[in-house]
Structure 1
Amino acid sequence: MKNLLRRLSVLAFMSLSFVTAGLAADVKQHRLAIQVDQNDPAVINLTLSNITNVIEYYRAKGENVDVDLVAYGPGLNMLRADKSTVQDRIKHLKDFAFPGKIQFSACNNTKINMEKAEGGAITLVPEATIVDAGVVQLMELQEQGWSYIRP
């Protein structure tokens, strides 16, 4: 009888392990690519609010979400240290998000063109990550299965 109970306990534990592993494999990977291509305070603030809402939603469910905000064209101004009106919100989002789960991608093509037009180097906020081309970044993220939003 004691051996039977021990075997049943082992079987139950093993079954539970398989179920738990199966559930872990079914957890959906949430990934959001969001673009900003306008230097419009309303669009920029809407985008940052959308990101905050997405992070809060999945955090409340105990799930993770990766976010990549891609800024190019006039939208790059939101990531410029000298022109951004939302630097504090960007820093807060970077601190608020799951560690390493948010990226602020800055289009290098746009940066180079702005530097040529302005005759000098421009500085981006410390939270920005330079990517070769913003549009290519968005395209490649979508090819990898990221959800794409344009506010």
Structure 2
Amino acid sequence: MYKVIYHIDEREKWSLTLGNVTNMIVYYQAHHIDYQIEVLANSVAVCDYLKGSTFQSQILSLIEKKVIFVACHNAMEAHHILAEQLMENIQVVDAGVVELVTKQSEGFAYIKP
């Protein structure tokens, strides 16, 4: 199984990140490869997890393909975002940087578009 964590901290990178994730899933599915993909947003990028975001339909579609989307609680606090304001199925972790280190120690490849 391939395990990958994408890290996004700039709002301008959402299209690129979601495109990369989609392309990776297409490849893995075409080659019958099991995968676990997580997208971690911290800094200002967490703002695009809000309900009604420009990227909501893409994110929800990828969640249906088993992609895990994670928000940094510290970034949420910095941008005055409450968990109830997030799209459904967005997970929250205490600290994004800790999540990155944890996933890498578990064998996840790190990608920052």
Larger fraction in helix: 1
Q: Which residue of 2 aligns with 1:127?
A: 89
Larger fraction in strand: 2
The TM-score normalised by the length of structure 2 is: 0.92
Structure 2 residues not aligned, in runs of 5+: none
Q: Which residue of 1 aligns with 2:78?
A: 113
Note if contact 1:90-1:127 (Cα within 8 Å) is conserved in structure 2: no
Displacement after TM superposition at 1:127 (Å): 2.6
Number of aligned positions between the proteins: 112
Please, which of 94, 98, 106 is the counterpart of residue 136 of structure 1? 98
Find the residue that maps to 1:32 and give its secondary structure: strand
Displacement after TM superposition at 1:112 (Å): 1.6
Structure 1 residues not aligned, in runs of 5+: 1-28
**Off by >4 Å, runs of 4+ in structure 1:** none
Please, which of 47, 50, 55 is the counterpart of residue 20 of structure 2? 50
Specify the structure having the higher radius of gyration (Cα).
1
CA distance in 1, matches of 2:40, 2:4: 11
RMSD in angstroms over aligned alpha carbons?
Answer: 1.4
Could you say which structure has the greater relative contact order, defined with CA pairs below 8 angstroms and 6 or more residues apart? 2
Note if contact 2:4-2:36 (Cα within 8 Å) is conserved in structure 1: yes
Note if contact 1:39-1:78 (Cα within 8 Å) is conserved in structure 2: yes
